[in-house]
Structure 1
Amino acid sequence: MADPATAPRRSAPMPRRERTGIVALAVPNLEEPYFAELTALIVRRADQRGLSILIQQTEGDHDREVDIANGVGLPQTDGLIHIPRSLTVGDLTRRTSPGPLVLLGEHIQVSPFTHVTIDNKAAARSAVEHLASVGCRRIAFIGPRDASPSDAADQRFAGYREAVAALALDPDPALVAQVVSFTSGEGQRALRELIGSRTVFDGVVCSNDSVAFGVLAALHEAGRRIPEDVAVIGIDDVRAARFAAPALTSVAPDNEALVEAALTELERQIASPPGADLPVRHVVVPARIVARASTARTSRTR
């Protein structure tokens, strides 16, 4: 009989936690229309899968994002969908309560965690290309955020610069205006300053639709015709875009595909045995131009 003291020991299997049917969702700010609409879609699609969503608003605060990643102050959940703004790979690798996790967005682009995103750089490139196709040659960009960094803003600005160079458009630095946040008020302020600087421009790419709504308001104030004098395009295609005056052209991410991929990847992890070596997946969903009146220039206005 083998000596119990020398017999090899088997590791005890990791216990499988009881399913709760609850998934946590960490979102930066529900006052931003895109996040509000994306959250509503996640809730609806999760419900169809028999899951309930526990929504946590982080305001992009690092400590809050870390706490949620660690489950601090949360009831037991089956997994987490996290839209981070300041969380790092190091924070995630030190999670004290590891479990199924899917990241949404471009803040953490390379990591050992499953990640679902749109290509923000390509979205901005296509926005510039669209304005160029309707005759714009001096295209402004409203949206870098040096004072309050944003990975989405950085990627969209990079896409703008790439497209301006590729299309041999005017790269005048005066055509670029900073914002502190992706809000209509900031878009209005930035466009007012651009007009006040007497910079000549005939098209505007906005870092998101909320910024674009402020840009439209500032152009109306200044008596600029849209799109005859200035064509305007946003990114995200929130529902309010179709009701703007004029209706706003926007780059529309495939949010259905984004949510489907996030929930599918999370459920794949939830269904796997604890400790299973699952492949990390990075999913990029497409986006398309939805053309509306704000860029509908005729040959006479080009």
Structure 2
Amino acid sequence: MTTASTGRAVPVARATRTGLIALAVPHLEEPYFAELGSRLVRGADDRGLAVLIVQTEGDHAREIDVANGVGLPPIDGLIHIPRSLTVADLTRRTSPGPLVLLGEHIQVSPFTHITIDNRAAARTATEHLLSVGCRRIAFVGRRDSRPSDAADRRHAGYVEALEAARLPVDRSLTAQVDAFSAEEGHRATAAIAASAADVDGVVCSNDSLALGALAALHAAGRRVPDDVAVIGIDDIRASRFAVPALSTIAPDHDRLVDAAFTELERQLTSPPGADLPVRHVTVGARLVPRASTAR
């Protein structure tokens, strides 16, 4: 786990602690967020805290409202997993209590942030497909219509790995999605399978997309991993029980949760007016090879 300090955060005076924190997530239907939320709830319980979970749907206005405490009861702090927040949104917060951002990286931010190295994760995933002999590798998970920093970084890691291997980057093999869901993974991969018969590998921006990709390839008569190897990112539980079991990049979830609460508690326990360094923490991730890439 690496930590970088960028700037200073000045906490404001706080009332008596409530023992309640808020957790803002885009979609609980997305397995990764449901599982991460469960881990955070257990982590809070271990620390004597209760958690109020707010689903934002990734809506910009709703994410701003939550950051400003609109519609929330008195809370000690906020762990926010944003999809569309900007630095400008956060610097205009009307409820400037303790805040920790998880997941999506909001450029160079003056707010504490915990994430994995999304670019490195996708680069490792692509390098793994290259190592098992794939040469025509597609990427499922660009999202230009609703920008996602994580998706951008993961696509950049895929491109970086291909360029390092001196392979051409074929734009027709990069599929856009409207959501990071199995349904979108199925749709996008079906289109690639129909238009590019020589594709022999698929890197998916997350595991849910990859589960949809497995189903689409099966429906198209493409064997996994014999004809096409598939890998995702996130290591959701369902990936272990897919047929075939899905290779993935697994974040260090324990460190992610521990870092989130360490940073939140650091803000909660600081004296009013203290000049706190803002920390950007990068948590490690590792390759988990399974049957979907066992060529």
In the superposition, the TM-score normalised over structure 1's length comes to: 0.92
Structure 2 CA distance for aligned equivalents of residues 173 and 16 of structure 1: 51
For the 8 Å contact 2:104–2:148, the answer to whether it is kept is: no
What is the match of residue 56 of structure 1?
54
Structure 2 CA distance for aligned equivalents of residues 210 and 15 of structure 1: 42
Structure 2 CA distance for aligned equivalents of residues 57 and 224 of structure 1: 37
What is the match of residue 256 of structure 2?
258
For the 8 Å contact 2:68–2:96, the answer to whether it is kept is: yes
Structure 1 CA distance for aligned equivalents of residues 90 and 187 of structure 2: 37
What is the match of residue 5 of structure 2?
none
Equivalent in 183, 203, 226 of residue 205 of structure 1: 203
| Displacement after TM superposition at 1:199 (Å) | 4.2
Instruction: Classify the secondary structure of the residue corresponding to 2:27.
Output: coil
Instruction: Classify the secondary structure of the residue corresponding to 1:279.
Output: strand
Instruction: Classify the secondary structure of the residue corresponding to 1:273.
Output: coil
**Paired positions, count:** 284
1:205-246 CA distance string (max 9 Å, x none): 011111111110011111111111111000001000000000
Instruction: Classify the secondary structure of the residue corresponding to 2:142.
Output: coil
Equivalent in 30, 42, 55 of residue 32 of structure 1: 30
What is the match of residue 179 of structure 1?
177
What is the match of residue 7 of structure 2?
none
More relative contact order, 1 or 2 (CA 8 Å, 6+ apart): 2
| Displacement after TM superposition at 1:195 (Å) | 1.7
Q: Note closer, same or farther for the CA distance 1:173–1:15 as it changes in structure 2 (3 Å cut).
A: closer
Instruction: Classify the secondary structure of the residue corresponding to 2:54.
Output: strand
The one-letter amino acid of 1:202's match is D
What is the match of residue 278 of structure 2?
280
Q: Note closer, same or farther for the CA distance 1:255–1:15 as it changes in structure 2 (3 Å cut).
A: closer
The one-letter amino acid of 2:19's match is G
**1:51-130 map, 5 Å:** 51-130=49-128
For the 8 Å contact 2:138–2:199, the answer to whether it is kept is: yes
Structure 1 CA distance for aligned equivalents of residues 251 and 208 of structure 2: 15
Q: Hey, which bits of structure 1, 4+ residues long, moved more than 6 A? A: none
More strand by share: 2
Instruction: Classify the secondary structure of the residue corresponding to 1:281.
Output: strand
For the 8 Å contact 1:137–1:170, the answer to whether it is kept is: no
Structure 2 CA distance for aligned equivalents of residues 173 and 199 of structure 1: 15
**1:122-141 map, 5 Å:** 122-141=120-139
Structure 1 CA distance for aligned equivalents of residues 282 and 29 of structure 2: 25
| Displacement after TM superposition at 1:16 (Å) | 4.0
What is the match of residue 17 of structure 2?
19
| Displacement after TM superposition at 1:169 (Å) | 2.2
The one-letter amino acid of 2:231's match is I
For the 8 Å contact 2:105–2:115, the answer to whether it is kept is: no
What is the match of residue 186 of structure 2?
188
Equivalent in 225, 232, 247 of residue 234 of structure 1: 232
Instruction: Classify the secondary structure of the residue corresponding to 2:189.
Output: helix
Equivalent in 285, 290, 293 of residue 292 of structure 1: 290
For the 8 Å contact 1:86–1:107, the answer to whether it is kept is: no
1:68-123 CA distance string (max 9 Å, x none): 11111111111111111111111211111111111112331311111111111110
Structure 1 CA distance for aligned equivalents of residues 286 and 114 of structure 2: 17
The one-letter amino acid of 1:72's match is V
The one-letter amino acid of 2:25's match is V
Structure 1 CA distance for aligned equivalents of residues 196 and 291 of structure 2: 25
1:154-175 CA distance string (max 9 Å, x none): 1111111111101112322222
Structure 2 CA distance for aligned equivalents of residues 198 and 83 of structure 1: 36
| Displacement after TM superposition at 1:15 (Å) | 5.0
What is the match of residue 143 of structure 1?
141
For the 8 Å contact 1:143–1:153, the answer to whether it is kept is: yes
The one-letter amino acid of 1:50's match is G
For the 8 Å contact 1:118–1:286, the answer to whether it is kept is: yes
What is the match of residue 216 of structure 2?
218
For the 8 Å contact 2:19–2:48, the answer to whether it is kept is: yes
Sequence identity (%): 71
Structure 2 CA distance for aligned equivalents of residues 50 and 292 of structure 1: 37
